[in-house]
Amino acid sequence: MNLIFLGDVVGKGGRAAVVKLLPELKKEFGAQFAVVNGENSAAGAGLSASCVNELLTVAEVVTGGDHTWDQKEFPREIVSLDRVVRPANFSVRHPGKGWGIFQHPGSGEVAVISLVGKVFMRDSAYCPFETVEKILGELPSRIKTVVVDFHAEATSEKLAMGRFLDGRVTAVFGTHTHVQTADAQVFPGGTAYITDAGMCGADFSILGREVPAVLEKFTVGLPNRLPVVEKGLFRVDGAAVSYDHLTGKALKITPFSRTVEI
């Protein structure tokens, strides 16, 4: 069986690119299940119910990250969004769920877990390693396919998580840095891994933001707005994973990057 994971969606243009390209990507890779990190989908900062529902017209699950609560209404909205998972190692007092079991049309059930890193991240969170260990202990034994979105800054922390989970989950997808890495591989234990899946955002941008504004930020140093690029050529980055649904072991991971005019 096959599944698809897409990197961080940035803004309205990123959402539009996903809606246009994900159905084609599903056909290309023979995938019936897709997970999308949507934590920058609401104007480049956080999520909203309307943005999530737009992404869910083509994806099966939307994951969050350190910007999950940037939109003030989302803590109230998330409780009614069954196919959204926010980082599981946020405080237990946070609304929403950090993992869930979802139906794959072709291969039964898939567990999706969202985690956020601690190294160089602005928000405090519980240990992601202890958290995922606890979740794996709670998963029903019938669940063989497990997907982890690890939203983290440090490549070392992401790679450590991949090695930590090798043989115990189907795939670990790194997110957050918006730049796709060149290390996609299947580890010896049968876990597919990539340090960062990339982003779904404007091709001519800096992490989805307008180039002149970001350059001014770096060269001048004064506080300034960093507008999201919403029109032009957009890139959709991610990876497809082939796996044995009877064992949950990954067989192949194929990173991709596609473009579309918005």
Residues 99-153 have pLDDT tens digits of 999 988 876 899 999 999 999 997 779 999 999 999 999 999 999 999 999 999 9
Distance, CA of 36 to CA of 147 (rounded, Å): 12
Is residue 67 part of the annotated active site? The answer reads: yes
Q: Which domains, from first to last, does the chain contain?
A: 2-261 (3.60.21.10)
Provide the pLDDT for residue 61: 98
The low-confidence residues of the chain, meaning pLDDT below 50, are: none
Provide the pLDDT for residue 201: 98
Provide the pLDDT for residue 125: 93
Provide the pLDDT for residue 16: 98
Strand extents, DSSP E, the chain: 2-6, 8-9, 34-37, 61-63, 84-85, 99-104, 108-116, 145-151, 171-175, 185-186, 192-194, 199-202, 233-243, 250-261
Pair of tokens at residue 236: 């959709």
Specify the length of the chain in residues.
Answer: 262
Dihedrals φ, ψ of 23, to 5°? -60, -40
Per-residue burial over 50-82, b if 16 or more Cβ lie within 10 Å, else e, is ebbebbbebbbbbbbbbbbbbbeebeebbeebe
Provide the pLDDT for residue 106: 74
The pTM (predicted TM-score) of the whole model is: 0.97
Distance, CA of 185 to CA of 253 (rounded, Å): 6
Please calculate the CA angle 194-122-175 and round it to the nearest 5 degrees: 15
